[in-house]
Amino acid sequence: MSDINNLPKAEGEEEVKKNVNHSDNISEENKSIETIPSETVDAASVSEEKSVDTNESGNDVTKNSDNNNDAVLNEIEDSNAEDAEDEGNKDRHTIEVKAYDTMSLETLAIELEKLVKTEKVQAIKSHVESINNEFKDKFQALLDDKKEEFLNDGGNEIDFYYVSPIQKRYKEAYNEYRKKLNDHYQNLEKNLKQNLADKLEIIEELKGLINVEENINTTYKHFKELQERWRVTGPIPRDKYNNAWNSYHHHVEIFYDFLHLNRDLRDLDFKHNLERKLLIIERAEELAEDDNVMRAFRELQELHKMWKEELGPVDKEYRETIWEKFKAATKKINDKRQVYYQNIDKVYDINLVKKLEIIENINAINAQTTNSHNGWQKKIKDIEDLREQFFNIGKVPSKVNESTWAKFKESVRTFNRQKNAFYKDLKKDQYTNLQKKLDLIKIAEDNKNSEDFEVTTALMKKIQSDWKKIGHVPRKDSDKIWKRFKAACNFYFDKLHTTKNAANKESIDAFSNKVTLLETLKNLKPVGDKEKDVESIKEYISKWKELGRVPNDKRYIEGKFNKAIEDFLSSLKMDKNEVEMIKFENKLDTMSASDDNKDLDNERHFIRKKIDEMKSQINQLENNLQFFTNVEDDNPLVKEVHKNIKDHKNALKLWKEKLSKIKEFY
């Protein structure tokens, strides 16, 4: 079937009934292109051809057969007529159609830029339309969201304005496409007119062939040159395509009638055309078995174009037979295409069900009553998720696409209206809250210099508690008023602490001395003798206790001291449990410095709990060993269990020591 690649690249052919007056078979519009004189051919010279009454594209000129109702043939004819005006048609078929409905705004802009830059402008029309529709819908959705945010922040609807760099980028690419398309059509119109003039000139030359007195072989050679010129001439206006082709084919038929005077040349041409048309049929039958039905149908259109445009007639005895075979393959391909469309429709129907379900889910959320900010934030997130799902589902049947999109937009708009109404009411509450907090700020600022600490401290603590209970204020005021309130409160409490510190010089001195001792401890280095190092650290602990208590707001230094002790002990090569007990004793000393035993009680309760846990885990591990019967002691799993038991017993011993030590403090 490789010979099919050698076929001329054209599309179809139509036989016309042969009469002396062939103009009867041409429409009025054809006659505007070409009026064929009846005296062109001698009636005697075409008597053998008068019996032909059917054509090879299936049309019965005199009987108007049922094939005129063949929808697929009409579709192919219409498509090829349209292609005659657009030589970039083949390029459209090679460009991948992507899932534009699942792309983001930025991806759509990038895809448009790529198409405009790398593809012929006449080949990307359908792609650009799909991209443009998706971009407009998604950008409108984004615009709606931005508008809602603007209104929720207290903006006035008439002041809303939003510009996106993605929109600017997209518009630049789209404008470039429109410019290229306009330039293309201007050039195309000029070329189409010239090509039409060239083809009409070819028809005129065809008409003159039968009146030339020269050797038939020379005339035949001239005829073949005209056929080649016709084939390579570019596209013509689609509304002139059928008329021009019919006129051309009409005169080709007249020439073949005239050629009967040299039957050898005519029969040779018939044979050549038959061979090529049989190859076309063979290829069509192969395409009928191709699983890629859309690709097969596109190539079928090209085969019809070859049949009609580039190949002449065959001997009368084969005409109807080969045409019927070609039609049969055509029908088989089209039947598979219809099944494909039906399956695609099923997918679109499923997508429709999913999208309608999402719309129902949005409506269900709209029906819920929500009176809290957190509740609305959850609903907003749910709606965003549903919107994302809606955009990612894919296409729905075209007949319901607009109505489905309208339902979706209306459900989202209903949600947005409800949300806006809530937040408008919330704004009112927030302004009420703002006034309440401003009142608290005035109280704090009026009393921050007070020296009646007993009364004012209680007042300050109360207004701090009231502040927390009031609730949200407008976002633009939140930080500003909080800083004012915090500054006034801090000023008062700093003054209170300063006063207390002055009244408690002993605690301040203790703090100062502990700061010094802490710095000394941080610089302490082990001498290498464990007993001396341990003794040294115990001396530091003892000195620390002797320095006394520090002010409550300075007690953080106790934690720093404990951290320094831990760091030093960690550097010693001592038994882990011994180090832990030293650290624990120091911890207990810190706890015992408190006025009550609450911290000690909590620590003792915690240790008892850990002892019970250790015992339970040891029992569990020992019970687990009972399951390892007839297993060697060096089994890795058994060894791991024994190791865990040992570790837990060591830990239990340490916890018991801690419990004994904490009892000494009661």
**Residue 394 φ/ψ region, left for φ over 0, alpha for ψ in the -120 to 50 degree band, beta for the rest:** left
Residues 643 and 602 in one domain: yes
Domain range for 620 is 596-666
Residues 579 and 644 in one domain: no
CB contact at 8 A, 265 and 216: yes
Residues 579 and 639 in one domain: no
| pTM of the shown model | 0.38
Is residue 429 in a domain?
A: no
- For the stretch 411-440, pLDDT in tens is 988 898 888 888 777 778 888 899 999 999
The burial of 277, by beta-carbon neighbours within 10 Å (0-12 exposed, 13-18 middle, 19 or more buried), is given as buried
Q: Quick one: pLDDT band at residue 484, thresholds 50, 70, 90?
A: very high
Q: Among 593, 619, 636, which residue terminates a domain? A: 593
**Which residue would you say has higher pLDDT here, 609 or 214?**
609
Mean pLDDT score across all residues of the chain: 79
Q: Among 538, 572, 593, which residue terminates a domain? A: 593
CB contact at 8 A, 91 and 119: yes
> Which amino acid, 103?
M
Q: Quick one: pLDDT band at residue 525, thresholds 50, 70, 90?
A: confident
The burial of 386, by beta-carbon neighbours within 10 Å (0-12 exposed, 13-18 middle, 19 or more buried), is given as buried
Residues 662 and 645 in one domain: yes
Residues 627 and 576 in one domain: no
Dump the DSSP string for 474-533: -HHHHHHHHHHHHHHHHHHHHHHHHHHHHH-HHHHHHHHHHHHHHHHHHT----S-HHHH
Axis-axis angle for helices 316-367, 398-447 (nearest 10): 30
Report how far residue 84's alpha carbon sits from residue 451's, in angstroms, rounded to the nearest whole number.
98
Q: Which residues are registered as beta bridge partners of 54?
A: 60
Is residue 60 in a domain?
A: no
**Number of domains present in the structure of the chain:** 2
- For the stretch 549-605, pLDDT in tens is 887 788 889 889 888 888 888 787 777 777 778 778 777 777 776 666 787 888 889
CB contact at 8 A, 435 and 383: no
Residues 508 and 576 in one domain: yes
Which among 540, 658, 657, 556 is positioned nearest to 600, based on CA atoms?
658
3-state secondary structure of 630: coil
Contacts with 186 (C-beta within 8 Å, 6 or more apart), sequence order? none
**Residue 548 φ/ψ region, left for φ over 0, alpha for ψ in the -120 to 50 degree band, beta for the rest:** left
Report how far residue 312's alpha carbon sits from residue 301's, in angstroms, rounded to the nearest whole number.
18
Residues 572 and 609 in one domain: no
CA dihedral 473, 477, 482, 483 (to 10 degrees): 180
Residues 546 and 617 in one domain: no
Distance of CA 30 to the CA centre of its chain: 52
Which among 661, 136, 144 is positioned nearest to 414, based on CA atoms?
144
